[in-house]
């Protein structure tokens, strides 16, 4: 395959990109100066060497931000002693960034996805073993007061949450921490008239 | 103005209808048989005679469904003795229908709108006096355990809710009922990545 | 059925209106003063008496604008002697209004729809007989220089256009008038990159 | 800046990509195997060496497809002797691909953009000198029968077209070739009711 088609095909694997936009990306790069292409290629190829996946929360971060702690290279959030002892489980890095932006002051664990409804091998879809180890470790160190399950408000998110609750509730009892889920209800800006019955029921259950 | 333009203008006052769709409505009626127009005209003109606004909840309903109770003509919901003693305040009839569909088993009060942020005359925008009277009446009859404020999750909805809380909290203390608001959080189907910080904060506050 | 549901169902027959918006229309009318409802009912019921369908072009117009001409009540456009002798065939009244707005100075015929692709009875879908009579009449009176077929640029529009061309070409030869179709090509505001191959081919064919 | 933010910023320069999607691209690359990143980097960095900009039409193509002709490296279309002698001027490579897909059998010139309405230096925005040279060369070689201006149907496209017509009409007279523009009118799939007056006027002017 020629380099134009090959590059176009690579861009088609990018999230949310179809064949037409992939081609526009290639055109953009063709018209750009060689230095722009060189810089992009350089940054992409060095991405692996300059970033680390945190051994505690599994998010990706820049190596220069890494801090040595107990013989592990941790991300700035996991290394920060002032963080509260609530562990927020998210599906992916982008969710973590949103929660951080909302002002959460605890710590995180990036699950790496959700468990499909029919899956018989949940551990193939999410970091189950790593989560259990993290929970056990934090709990043993008395660093876990609450486990917040921040899954999507979808069927697959709910399924994953239930699976995690079942998997972790014995730990919760043994180590005396709470397992909670994000509140459901009216999202900011929404009106009752356009809310679905499920959301109204949730908003009623979580009224306060 | 000719009848085509006049009718078009009337349809432009219908909620969500612009000039183009208003004209399409007129074209539809022009092409329809005379009997269709006659039926529509008849139903519209009799609407006032065949419907009643409930004296308790202020929603509109069909006269034939009305039930006499304590010398008042009430709607089927307000007349139903088996309804629970939670009073759900909604902005408009369409909201009431959505909440009813979601399976709520208490009773309602239709406020008739929201209070604009800068308004110095709140009572001109919503049925304040009627609400106060209803709350006092129900409370005196020991028929009010909880007042649920089901306003929109918008700035104006929040403003209205605060105003109602301030107005009614002395009654709540005197008659010993709770004032609650609908839970905020992730609405069904939503994902963390696309949630706004405000919704994430609410979902965190109402975690359970 | 109660009047609220009945009226709601009538509004659901309006073009582009679903159950939810139909209900909002009813709520709007319920909350409106009785005089608004009375006026709407009155205008709708009188619509038939106050409007006429033009005997030449078949569009709907207000009776007060009608002009007597050759023993017929005609619409202002058909009655206007200064109009040019081009006959523009449109599908519906709304199309006629758009063409008029674009500054066309000839006359019109409202076909009343398009002919479905598989239809074996084209005359049941559009005013074929009336169109033939109109064309023959205008041609005999030497008032037809060009017949412009202004159908939609869709499969059904194309099918209808071909059917009309076949039906009318013997008249065109006999009476010496042209049959033309609207030009196809790039619509105002469109870019080549996003145009479909068919539109590009048309734009190429009609280049000038 | 750290590599994650730096790469994110680079992706924000891609056409149609905002900060959020740029970050998702970075996340996708972080989670991808190192080999995927290496391949992408490699393809991007070699893009310049493996592609050529055609000296005749200025589009980008793969070096391996290049053909030597009259001491020039040409793209397969420009090198193809069987192509007709119509020269189609497009704004950008993506337009050329669309026109090629629509079955055009002539040759092309990629202008490289459009001329802003207020610009006093048109040659800074498009390849004016190269176009004039190309036109003169083809005309001298008796290889130019028609110059088709395939600009966007927008204000800036129209402005550019007029500028090109004024610049090139003396050549057209001297060398006896036509300058044409793409036909305007209803695009495939569109309906009269929703067409703007300008499009209807164009469709009327180009009726046939």
- Residue D20 maps to which CATH number? 1.10.8.420
Structure tokens at A195: 């809310």
pLDDT in tens, A97-107: 999 999 999 99
Of B18, B11, B1, whose CA–CA distance to C50 is shortest?
B1
Return the pLDDT at D182: 94
Return the pLDDT at C69: 83
Q: From chain A, pick out residues whose CB is under 8 angstroms from the CB of D15.
A: 21, 24-25, 28
Q: Do C23 and B97 touch (CB under 8 A)?
A: yes
Is A70 a residue whose pLDDT tops 90?
no
Is B72 a residue whose pLDDT tops 90?
no
Q: Do C15 and B25 touch (CB under 8 A)?
A: yes
pLDDT in tens, A24-56: 999 999 989 999 999 999 999 999 999 999 999
Is C68 a residue whose pLDDT tops 90?
no
D47: nearest CB among A3, A24, A51: A3
Q: From chain C, pick out residues whose CB is under 8 angstroms from the CB of D191.
A: 95, 152-154, 157
Whether C15 has its CB under 8 Å from any CB of chain B: the answer is yes
Return the pLDDT at A71: 83
Q: Do D60 and A27 touch (CB under 8 A)?
A: yes
Q: Which of A108, A110, A183 has the most B C-beta neighbours within 10 Å, making it the best mutation to test the interface with B?
A: A183
Is D10 a residue whose pLDDT tops 90?
yes
Domain encompassing residue B33: 3-49
Is A69 a residue whose pLDDT tops 90?
no
Identify whether A167 is part of a domain. Answer: yes
Q: Do C4 and B60 touch (CB under 8 A)?
A: yes
Identify whether D199 is part of a domain. Answer: yes
Distance CA D79, CA D83 (A): 9
Is D116 a residue whose pLDDT tops 90?
yes
Tell me the average pLDDT of chain C: 94
- Tell me: do A94 and A191 sit in the same domain: yes
Of A164, A191, A35, whose CA–CA distance to A88 is shortest?
A164
Identify whether B150 is part of a domain. Answer: yes
Of B110, B104, B106, whose CA–CA distance to B90 is shortest?
B110
- Tell me: do C28 and C89 sit in the same domain: no
User: Do B107 and B137 meet the contact criterion of CB atoms below 8 Å apart?
Assistant: no
In percent, the amount of chain B with pLDDT more than 70 equals: 100
Return the pLDDT at D69: 83
Identify whether B194 is part of a domain. Answer: yes
pLDDT in tens, A153-198: 999 999 999 999 999 999 999 999 999 999 999 999 999 988 999 9
Q: Do C16 and B6 touch (CB under 8 A)?
A: no
Structure tokens at A114: 């959700």
Return the pLDDT at D68: 86
Residue D141: pLDDT band (50, 70, 90) is very high
Structure tokens at D187: 């695009």
Whether C2 has its CB under 8 Å from any CB of chain B: the answer is yes
- Tell me: do B107 and B186 sit in the same domain: yes
Return the pLDDT at C45: 94
Tell me which residue has tokens 């202020």: B58
**Mean pLDDT confidence for C29-46:** 94
Q: The CATH number of the domain where A140 resides is what?
A: 3.40.1360.10
- Tell me: do C118 and C183 sit in the same domain: yes
User: Do B102 and A204 meet the contact criterion of CB atoms below 8 Å apart?
Assistant: yes
Residue D125: pLDDT band (50, 70, 90) is very high
Buried-exposed string A3-24: b where 16+ CB fall within 10 A, e elsewhere: bbebbbebbeebeebeeebbbb
Return the pLDDT at A125: 95
Is B165 a residue whose pLDDT tops 90?
yes
Q: From chain A, pick out residues whose CB is under 8 angstroms from the CB of B95.
A: 191-193
Beta bridge partners of A110: A90
Q: From chain C, pick out residues whose CB is under 8 angstroms from the CB of D152.
A: 186, 190-192
pTM of the entire structure? 0.76
Is D71 a residue whose pLDDT tops 90?
no
**Mean pLDDT confidence for A114-126:** 94
Whether C165 has its CB under 8 Å from any CB of chain D: the answer is no
- Tell me: do D95 and D195 sit in the same domain: yes
Return the pLDDT at A36: 96
Of A116, B174, D190, whose CA–CA distance to D198 is shortest?
D190
> First-to-last CA distance in chain C?
61
Q: Do D30 and A15 touch (CB under 8 A)?
A: no
D106 sits in the region (left: phi over 0; alpha: psi -120 to 50; else beta) called beta
Tell me which residue has tokens 């390849």: D127
Return the pLDDT at D86: 97
Q: How many Å lie between the alpha carbon of D177 and the closest alpha carbon of chain A?
A: 31
Return the pLDDT at C73: 87
Is C1 a residue whose pLDDT tops 90?
no
ipTM of the assembly?
A: 0.86
Residue D145: pLDDT band (50, 70, 90) is very high
Q: Which residue has the higher pLDDT, B12 or A20?
A: B12
**Mean pLDDT confidence for A10-35:** 94
- Tell me: do D113 and D199 sit in the same domain: yes
**Mean pLDDT confidence for B103-127:** 95
Q: Do B188 and A208 touch (CB under 8 A)?
A: no
- Tell me: do B123 and B185 sit in the same domain: yes
Give the three-state DSSP class for D114. Answer: coil
Pairing status of strand D86-90 against strand D146-149: parallel
- Tell me: do B95 and B29 sit in the same domain: no
Q: How many Å lie between the alpha carbon of B203 and the closest alpha carbon of chain A?
A: 4
- Tell me: do B110 and B196 sit in the same domain: yes
Q: Do A148 and B204 touch (CB under 8 A)?
A: yes
Identify whether D62 is part of a domain. Answer: no
- Tell me: do D127 and D198 sit in the same domain: yes
pLDDT in tens, C143-196: 999 999 999 999 999 999 999 999 999 999 999 999 999 999 999 999 998 899
**Mean pLDDT confidence for A66-77:** 89
Classify burial at C105, counting beta carbons within 10 Å of its beta carbon; exposed 0-12, middle 13-18, buried 19 or more.
Answer: exposed
Chain B nearest-CA residue for C53: B30
Buried-exposed string D33-58: b where 16+ CB fall within 10 A, e elsewhere: eeeebebbbebbbebbeebbebbbbb
Residue D70: pLDDT band (50, 70, 90) is confident
Give the torsion through C-alpha atoms of A86, A89, A92, A93, to 10 deg: 10
Of A81, A89, A64, whose CA–CA distance to A150 is shortest?
A89
Pairing status of strand C178-181 against strand C146-149: parallel
Distance CA B207, CA D154 (A): 52
Q: How many Å lie between the alpha carbon of C173 and the closest alpha carbon of chain B?
A: 34
Identify whether B69 is part of a domain. Answer: no
Distance CA B111, CA B168 (A): 14
Identify whether C73 is part of a domain. Answer: no
Q: Residue C104: how many CB atoms within 10 A of its CB?
A: 21
Is B68 a residue whose pLDDT tops 90?
no
User: Do C134 and C56 meet the contact criterion of CB atoms below 8 Å apart?
Assistant: yes
**Mean pLDDT confidence for B160-173:** 96
C184: nearest CB among D104, D186, D198: D186
- Tell me: do B33 and B87 sit in the same domain: no
Chain B nearest-CA residue for A97: B193
Whether B19 has its CB under 8 Å from any CB of chain C: the answer is no
Identify whether C74 is part of a domain. Answer: no
The number of folded domains in chain C is 2
Q: Do D28 and A40 touch (CB under 8 A)?
A: no
**Mean pLDDT confidence for B89-111:** 95
Pairing status of strand A72-74 against strand B146-149: unpaired
Q: From chain B, pick out residues whose CB is under 8 angstroms from the CB of C48.
A: 34, 37
Q: Residues of B numbered 31-70 whose beta carbons fall under 8 angstroms of chain A's beta carbons: which are they?
A: none
The CA angle B152-B158-B164, to the nearest 5 degrees, is: 105
- Tell me: do D198 and D101 sit in the same domain: yes
């Amino acid at each position: 395959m020629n380099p134009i088609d090959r590059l176009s095909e690579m861009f088609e694997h990018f999230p949310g990109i179809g064949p037409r936009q992939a081609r526009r990306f290639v055109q953009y790069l063709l018209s750009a100066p060689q230095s722009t292409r060189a810089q992009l290629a350089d940054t992409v190829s060095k991405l692996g060497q300059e970033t680390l996946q945190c051994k505690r929360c599994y998010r990706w971060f820049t190596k220069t931000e890494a801090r040595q702690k107990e013989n592990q290279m941790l991300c700035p959030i996991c290394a920060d002693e002032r963080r509260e002892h609530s562990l927020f489980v998210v599906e992916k890095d982008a969710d973590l960034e949103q929660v951080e932006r909302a002002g959460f002051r605890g710590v995180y664990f990036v699950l790496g996805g959700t468990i499909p409804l029919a899956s018989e091998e949940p551990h193939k879809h999410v970091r189950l073993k790593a989560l259990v180890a993290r929970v056990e470790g934090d709990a043993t160190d008395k660093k876990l007061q609450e486990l917040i399950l921040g899954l999507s408000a979808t069927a697959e998110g709910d399924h994953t949450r239930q699976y995690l609750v079942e998997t972790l509730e014995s730990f919760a009892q043994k180590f005396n921490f709470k397992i909670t889920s994000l509140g459901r209800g009216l999202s900011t800006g929404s009106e009752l008239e356009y809310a679905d019955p499920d959301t109204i029921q949730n908003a009623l259950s979580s009224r306060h």
